[in-house]
């Protein structure tokens, strides 16, 4: 008799990219919640029966009794107050402070609390308020009976986009103990746990652990050009010559030299460009590699990336398309977004997670941890619990 499927509840579900990553590892989403109607539209367009389990509304209105029995809960809570753009208000901010509603819901679930919790946010969460915000979050998860692991995983290990993200894996202490080995949890080095992250969690009052995981894929050095959507030169989305001239005129000397060299090559190169403010002046900067910078919500300014096509003495420039955003998040072209505007789709993808990154964690950590008998080929995580 086969084991029942593993079930997950997806808080701050967005457009369902965490779901795609979990499904790739055989974990089913049984319940989802988000406050954005636009994101729910994209979610419903791509996942059959979403109406039955997607709860649209503020998490402040969710109660523990609303959430079904699940093995896993995920939460990509808002990062606004943890970034410089949010003035680093941290977990006391109106947006990122929704974390406390998430743990309140877990608390209200009582003995039905899921065995494992996965949180995702920007890396700045680890240093917000000198590390106090991260420690407060871990302490609250400890209060609920969880031991906490922390990882930094960059989307660039799977797609040509520089997008490091912090993942917290909270495990019910009984489950962690069943996987424990008699060794110190920090007696090994891993690219998943940089020094700043390890030091942020080294506190005698916190209960933490560290899973021994396989080495993640190497960081990609190229690939953006392979994901670019083909548009004819007559497409009105290409910028007019005057706008391109303004971009070129704003380049620094170093940037201008890089631009000229690529323009005059006999091969076509694709690069992303960003608008920045330097010394009170708006300028453009072009990445030196065939990799996208971190995709963000499309709200103007430096949050938007332009695509620059250079080569054979010619230059073309345009904004990225929603399909390119999707591909850079590891989303297959079958994913649809016809129910929303182009800007809304850009917002949805820019505020989401990298699908293969979540899939890697689900395959190598979450599923082996939750499964009673994981096959040896799956490289199950061994959990080392701090003494």
C-alpha neighbours within 13 Å on the C-beta side of residue 326: 19
Model pLDDT, residue 381:
56
Model pLDDT, residue 4:
82
pLDDT band at 152; cut points 50, 70, 90: very high
pLDDT band at 372; cut points 50, 70, 90: low
Backbone phi, psi, residue 337, to 5°: -150, 35
Instruction: Give the closest residue to 172 by CA, choosing from 71, 98, 65.
Output: 71
| Helix (H) or strand (E) segment spanning residue 209 | strand 209-212
Residue 144 has pLDDT above 60, yes or no: yes
Model pLDDT, residue 183:
37
Q: What is the SS3 assignment for 139?
A: helix
Residue 65 has pLDDT above 50, yes or no: yes
Close Cβ partners of 18 (under 8 Å, ≥ 6 residues apart) = 10, 74, 76, 120, 353, 358
pLDDT band at 101; cut points 50, 70, 90: very high
Backbone phi, psi, residue 241, to 5°: -60, -40
CA 129 to chain centre: 21
Architecture field, domain 6-220+353-385: 3-Layer(aba) Sandwich (3.40)
Q: What is the SS3 assignment for 267?
A: coil
Tokens 């930094």 correspond to 152
Global model pTM greater than 0.85: yes
Structure tokens at 346: 């850009």
Residue 204 has pLDDT above 60, yes or no: yes
- Rounded Cα distance between 324 and 117, Å, is 31
Model pLDDT, residue 375:
35
- Per-residue pLDDT of 270-298, as tens digits, reads 999 988 888 888 899 999 999 999 998 76
Backbone phi, psi, residue 367, to 5°: -65, -45
Percentage of residues in the chain having pLDDT higher than 70: 84
- Per-residue pLDDT of 35-63, as tens digits, reads 999 999 999 999 976 667 899 999 999 99
CA 163 to chain centre: 7
202 or 41: which carries more pLDDT confidence? Answer: 41
- Rounded Cα distance between 23 and 363, Å, is 10
Model pLDDT, residue 301:
45
Structure tokens at 157: 């290990």
What residues does 272 pair with on adjacent strands?
307
Mean model confidence pLDDT for the chain: 87
Residues 88-98 have a mean pLDDT of 52
pLDDT band at 119; cut points 50, 70, 90: very high
Model pLDDT, residue 201:
85
- Per-residue pLDDT of 338-354, as tens digits, reads 999 999 999 999 999 99
pLDDT band at 383; cut points 50, 70, 90: low
Where does CATH 3.40.50.150 sit in the chain? Answer: 6-220+353-385
181 or 283: which carries more pLDDT confidence? Answer: 283
Contact 13, 43 (CB under 8 A): yes
pLDDT band at 184; cut points 50, 70, 90: very low
- Rounded Cα distance between 244 and 318, Å, is 9
Strand ordering across the sheet containing 269-278:
281-286, 269-278, 305-311, 314-319
Contact 261, 294 (CB under 8 A): no
Neighbours of 34 (CB within 10 A): 23
């Amino acid at each position: 008799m086969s084991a029942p499927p593993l079930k997950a509840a997806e808080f701050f579900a967005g457009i369902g990219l965490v779901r795609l990553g979990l499904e790739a590892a055989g974990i089913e989403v049984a319940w989802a919640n988000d406050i954005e109607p636009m994101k729910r539209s994209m979610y419903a367009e791509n996942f059959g029966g979403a109406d039955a389990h997607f709860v649209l509304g503020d998490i402040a209105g969710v109660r523990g009794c609303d959430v079904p029995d699940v093995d896993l809960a995920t939460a990509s809570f808002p990062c606004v107050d943890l970034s410089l753009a949010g003035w680093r208000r941290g977990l006391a901010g109106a947006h990122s402070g929704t974390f406390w509603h998430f743990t309140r819901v877990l608390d209200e679930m009582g003995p039905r609390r899921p065995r494992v919790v996965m949180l995702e946010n920007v890396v700045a969460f680890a240093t917000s308020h000198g590390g106090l915000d991260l420690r407060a979050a871990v302490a609250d998860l400890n209060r609920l009976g969880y031991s906490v692991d922390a990882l930094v995983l960059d989307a660039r290990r799977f797609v040509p986009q520089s997008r490091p993200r912090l993942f917290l894996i909270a495990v019910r202490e009984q489950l962690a103990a069943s996987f424990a080995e008699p060794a110190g949890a920090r007696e090994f080095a891993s690219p998943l746990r940089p020094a700043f992250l390890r030091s942020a969690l080294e506190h005698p009052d916190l209960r933490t652990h560290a899973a021994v995981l396989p080495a993640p894929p190497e960081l990609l050095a190229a690939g953006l050009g392979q994901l670019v959507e083909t548009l004819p030169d007559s497409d009105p989305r290409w910028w007019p010559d005057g706008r391109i001239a303004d971009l070129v005129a704003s380049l620094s000397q170093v940037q201008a030299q890089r631009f000229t060299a690529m323009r005059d090559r006999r091969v076509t190169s694709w690069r992303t460009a960003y608008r920045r403010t330097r010394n009170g002046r708006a300028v453009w900067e072009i990445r030196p590699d065939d990799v996208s910078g971190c995709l963000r919500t499309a709200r103007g300014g430096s949050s938007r990336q332009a695509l620059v096509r250079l080569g054979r003495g010619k230059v073309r420039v345009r904004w990225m398309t929603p399909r390119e955003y999707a591909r850079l998040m590891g989303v297959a072209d079958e994913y649809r977004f016809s129910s929303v505007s182009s800007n809304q789709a850009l917002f949805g993808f820019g505020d989401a997670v990298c699908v293969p990154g979540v899939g890697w964690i689900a395959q190598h950590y979450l599923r082996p941890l939750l499964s009673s008998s994981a096959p040896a080929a799956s490289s199950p995580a061994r959990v080392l619990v701090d003494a």
